[in-house]
Structure 1
Amino acid sequence: MDTTAPHFGPPEGERELAAAEDIIAQAFALTPEESRAWRQKVEANSAHLRLLREGGSVAATIILIPMGQWFNGRRVPMVGIGGVGVAPARRGQGSATRLMQAALRELRSQGAPLASLYPSTQPLYRRVGFEQAGSRFEIRVQLSGLDFHERTLSLRPVGESDMPAIHEVYRRHAQRQQGWIDRTVYTWNRVTHPKGEIAYGYLVEGGSGIEGYVYLTRRAQPRSIQQELNLTDLVALTPAAGRRLLSFMGDHRSVATEVMWRGGPADPLLFLLREQTYQVKHLFYWMLRVLDVPAALQARGYPTGLSGALHLEVDDDLFPENRNRFVLEVENGEAEVRPGGDGDVKLHVRALAPLYSGFLSPAALQLAGALAADEDSLRTATALFSGPPPAMPDMY
């Protein structure tokens, strides 16, 4: 081990990669096959991996995945965080906190306004400024309830030449959602090549081109000849596309009993069903960290036709640059942020995350003791950050 290497940075050599693989295998209870697959994926995306070195050895790992996230129609640059693991001998000694602090400092220095993750434990991430900011739901539909017979749009398997158009269909759909990610090759691979499964893609077309698509895997049910359809992605841009895809899934009634996908709390496709032959189950809250307060506020979209100004006073234990007063001025959906102002809305950067995403209203944050504001400022903040509940069907 090179003890002269910086305490935080990319892996240097085979020994550090092997140490990182061992940490991840133990942290996530990977099988040898899964461990090798993780190693291959990391080697193909080596720029994403960072290590914390302490005491002459690799103490912890983290993966940083640049992408984007949609808020009120605007793409905000965001870095997804995964692969956080600590060597067993280093647990309970603050290594995870030091790892996160170093990673967040690097991301801010590179200009990233946001970071996001799915937490295995919340106290660690709250210590460095993350907070709950959105949800991930599992939707299960009984195929017996999919009594659709839509055939006006053609349906066919996805071909390699279709991928640019598929990506654009996803982007058009994700832009209308709150909190969905702007996928990269890394995250698209989870859709098209899920771990341990084969995904089959199908698209629906009309006169104007592709209107929707689905990627599905087929899971055999224990002690049964029936299957479960697991959707790694499902997008419909039009009502006809939604009905055609639901018809396609319903056509599997002879071999499957349920279809499952991930999304938000109110999927519009469920609105098309005749009966409530489905369940919507909450899986996770994802967490958000505002790394650069003025940059993040300015990059976000706001309700069109609305104008207003909000005077914020933000506290941040990690970044002194965020520990300041800011004025957010919104005009017809566009924002400008300047330092100064009266600080009428006081909150920690942690509380700014659910306000920013629309996950919690200003009144809810006030009730939780996470925000202090006068009534006029509360009304302005409510109007500026209003929108559908933020959700994220992807993991990374």
Structure 2
Amino acid sequence: MVISAQLDYGCISNADEAEQLGELLTQCFGSSLNNWQVYLNRIGQDNFRLIRQGEKIVGGLAIYTMGQWYGGQSIPMAGIAAVGIAPEYRGTGAAYKLMQCTLQELHQQGVPISTLYAATQVLYRKVGYEQAGIRCRWQIPTQTIQKRDRTLPMFRVKPVNYEVFQDLYSQQAQTTNGNLNRNSAIWQNLVEAPNDQSIYAYLIGAKSQPEGYVICTQSSNAEGLLLNIKDWAFLTPAAARRFWTFCADHRSQVRQVRWYSSLMDSLTLPLVEQTAQIRQQERWMLRILNVPKALEKRGYPLEIETELHLQVQDDLFAANNGNFILSVSQGRGKVTPGGTGEFRLHVRALASLFTSLFTPEQLQRMGYLDSTAAALSRANSLFSGSLPWMPDFF
């Protein structure tokens, strides 16, 4: 696909281009070429896209094909990662062209949504992404946990067999807006040891019917030894209590426990004192690629039967422009063209509403949408739900 007089867009076509892209991304992100080969194999060469100038690779990115949970439904999603442009081509519009062509390809394939972590919001807002969810790094001093509940057993398992965790994870993830319906590459990121670290994995509860799991590593910094929780799922209160006891049992050597969760993490609710703190937070972004399809794939509150008349503006995809009627019944939506268009917003604002990151009132207050009071109320009931977050980074 030709995108300018000098640049064209496509897949990796040979081993030389794969090596060039690896060198470029290694320079962009400060990783080693050894890590590049692992990354290339994990994601799959067919899932990389690049732009060339003649035989020179100017930039590239990776696409994770997976799903994301909203309203209890898994929506097909393209995760964009490792967007890198050669330093001498930055500021030329090459990154915009790369993203534009990638999104056009995904749109033609019928992918409803795309998600990414942004190094800069300016670029991704230009192509229709907007803030959509949160990833927070929590930390707690081990000595303050004060939990001693060993009712449930814990037994160690080999983390390379990630299938043993998938069902437990899915039961937790499907109730949480923004959690991924993970593909194999995401799971491999979790269960394969980084650098020289060892990974420890445990199931919680009976072997025949576990109630949770934890995957962790240990590392050191200026604060001392850290217990890093790479992944977790707890389906019962007893499993959560056993997890905190497990963490507390490291107190003789481990100074701090770290994990990733939501801005308001219910996992901290059983703690005796409020000693857990957020040390870092970042917002990921989402792009609605196909407005009708995305709205129909999402889940909605079961008890609500209503219509929302939207008017959407999209600068990149003509098919997303115009008036749509979202009819919701028994938790599912149906989208048809037409309607009064009394709920008016840009596709970027729709992303923040779609995930439930911001309420319609908040978006209207910031000038992101314009609506009648009645339509605003209906939208508020349709897109209410848990604050969107994910523990994964890609």
- Give the TM-score category using the shorter length: over 0.9
Who is 2:220 aligned against?
Answer: 220
- Report the Cα distance in structure 1 between the residues aligned to 2:153 and 2:10, rounded to whole angstroms: 50
Q: Do 1:310 and 1:327's aligned partners in 2 also have CA atoms closer than 8 Å?
A: yes
1:215-294 residue pairs with structure 2 within 5 A?
215-222=215-222, 226-294=224-292
Q: 1:160 to 1:261 in 2, by over 3 A?
A: closer
Identity across the alignment (%): 38
Residue 202 of structure 2 corresponds to residue 202 of structure 1: yes
Letter in 1 for 2:129: F
SS of aligned partner of 1:254: coil
The answer for the alignment partner of 2:318 in structure 1 is 320
Equivalent residues in 2 for 1:34-183, closer than 5 Å: 34-44=32-42, 45-159=44-158, 163-183=162-182
Q: Structure 2 vs 1, CA of residues 306 and 194 (structure 1 numbering), >3 Å: closer, same or farther?
A: farther
Q: Are 2:347 and 1:346 equivalent residues in the alignment?
A: no
* In structure 1, C-alpha distance between the alignment counterparts of 2:99 and 2:373, rounded to whole Å: 36
User: How far did residue 227 of structure 1 move?
Assistant: 1.1
Q: Would the aligned equivalents of 1:166 and 1:210 in 2 still touch at CA under 8 Å?
A: no
**Mapped contact 2:159–2:200 kept (Cα < 8 A):** no
- Whole-Å separation in 2 of the counterparts to 1:336 and 1:194: 44
Q: Distance in 1 between matches of 2:146 and 2:13?
A: 57
Alignment-mate amino acid for residue 154 of structure 1: P
Aligned length: 387
Separation in 1 of the partners of 2:339 and 2:215? 49
Equivalent AA in structure 1 for residue 89 of structure 2: R
Matched to 1:313, the amino acid is Q
Asked if 1:387 is matched to 2:390, the reply is: no
Q: Deviations over 1:282-319 (max 9, x none)?
A: 42110000000000000001011111100001111110
Which AA in structure 2 matches 1:215?
Answer: I
SS in 1 for 2:274: coil
Give 1:199's aligned amino acid: I
Look up the SS of the partner of 2:172 in the other structure.
helix
> CA 1:64–1:386 in structure 2 vs 1: closer, same or farther (change >3 Å)?
same
Quick one: which amino acid aligns to residue 363 of structure 1?
E
Given that 1:135 and 1:282 are in contact with CA atoms closer than 8 Å, whether structure 2 keeps it comes out as no
**C-alpha distance in structure 1 between counterparts of 2:177 and 2:283, whole Å:** 14
Verify the 8 A CA contact 1:118 1:287 in the aligned structure 2. Answer: yes
In the alignment, the residues of structure 1 paired with residue 38 and residue 191 of structure 2 have an alpha-carbon distance, to the nearest angstrom, of: 17
Distance 2:72 2:270 in 1: 25
| Structure 2 CA distance for aligned equivalents of residues 11 and 316 of structure 1 | 30
Q: 2:172, 2:191 → 1: CA distance?
A: 18
Bigger CA drift: 140-149 or 83-92? 140-149
Q: Using the TM superposition, name which of 39-48 and 73-82 deviates more.
A: 39-48
Q: Matches of 1:239 and 1:316 in 2, distance apart?
A: 44
> 1:53 Cα deviation (Å)?
1.4
Question: Superposition pairs for residues 300-311 of structure 1, below 5 Å?
Answer: 300-311=298-309
Residue aligned with 1:7, SS: strand
Q: Which residue of 1 aligns with 2:3?
A: none
Residue 332 in 1 paired to residue 333 in 2?
Answer: no
1:43: Cα distance to partner?
3.5
Runs of 4+ in 1 over 3 A off after TM superposition: 159-163
Please name the residue that 1:24 is paired with: 25
CA distance in 1, matches of 2:141, 2:203: 22
Question: What residue in structure 2 maps to residue 11 of structure 1?
Answer: 12
Contact 1:70 1:182 in 2 (8 A): yes
Letter in 2 for 1:380: R
